[in-house]
Chain A
Amino acid sequence: MISEERSILLKVEGLTKHFPITKGIFRKQVGAVKAVDGISFDIFKGETLGLVGESGCGKSTAGRVILQLYPASKGKVTFKGRDLMSLSKENLRKQRPHMQMIFQDPQDSLNPRMTVGSIISEPMIEHAKFKGRDRRERVEQLLESVGMNREFTNRYPHEFSGGQRQRIGIARALALSPEFIICDEPIAALDVSIQAQVVNLLEDLQEEYGLTYLFISHDLSMIRHIADRVAVMYLGKIVELANSESLYSSPLHPYTQALLSAVPSHDPKKEKKRERMILVGDVPSPANPPSGCNFNTRCPRAEKRCSIDPPEWRQISPGHQVACHLVQ
Chain B
Amino acid sequence: MTTQSSILQVENIATRFRTQDGLVHAVNGISFDLKKGELLGVVGESGSGKSVTMMSLLKLLPMPPAEIVSGTAKFEDQDLIQLDTNQLRKIRGGKIGFIFQDPMTSLNPVLTIGYQLAEPMREHLGLSHGEARKRSGELLDLVGIPMAESRLNDYPHQFSGGMRQRVMIAIALACDPKVLIADEPTTALDVTIQAQILDIIKRLRKELGMAIIWITHDLGVVAGMADRVAVMYGGFIVEEATVNELYANPKHPYTQALLKTLPNLEGEREDRLESIIGQPPDLHQKPLSCPFAPRCSKAFERCLNENPNFISRGKNHKVACWWNPDSGEKV
Contact = CB atoms under 8 A, between A and B. Distances in A.
B262 interface: yes
Interface in B270-308: 270, 272-277, 279-280
Interface in A275-305: 276, 278-280, 282-283
Tell me which of B258, B264, B265 has the highest count of chain A C-beta atoms within 10 A of its own C-beta: B265
Interface residues of A, number: 45
Interface stretch (B29-37, B147-155, B214-222): B214-222
B198 interface: yes
A303 B219 CA distance: 37
B265 A196 contact: no
A163 B270 CA distance: 22
A205 interface: no
A87 B9 CA distance: 68
Contacts of A259: 191-192
Contact of A161 (B190, B259, B280): B280
A312 B264 CA distance: 32
Contacts of B220: 263-266, 271
Contacts, number: 123
Interface residues of B, number: 45
B112 interface: no
Contacts of B226: 268
Given A192-B258, A193-B261, A248-B265, A262 B275 contact: no
A65 B328 CA distance: 54
Interface stretch (A105-113, A150-158, A219-227, A320-328): A219-227
Given A258-B192, A259-B192, A279-B196, A269 B280 contact: no
Nearest to A160: B279
Contact of B219 (A197, A199, A266, A272): A266
A309 interface: no
B276 A196 contact: yes
A282 B273 CA distance: 33
A261 B276 CA distance: 28
B265 A220 contact: yes
Nearest to B190: A54
A199 B271 CA distance: 12
A282 B146 CA distance: 12
A224 B224 contact: no
Nearest to A193: B276
Given A193-B276, A262-B195, 5 more contacts: A161-B280, A192-B219, A196-B275, A199-B273, A259-B192
11 contacts: A161-B279, A192-B258, A218-B191, A264-B218, A266-B220, A266-B223, A266-B247, A266-B262, A268-B247, A269-B248, A271-B220
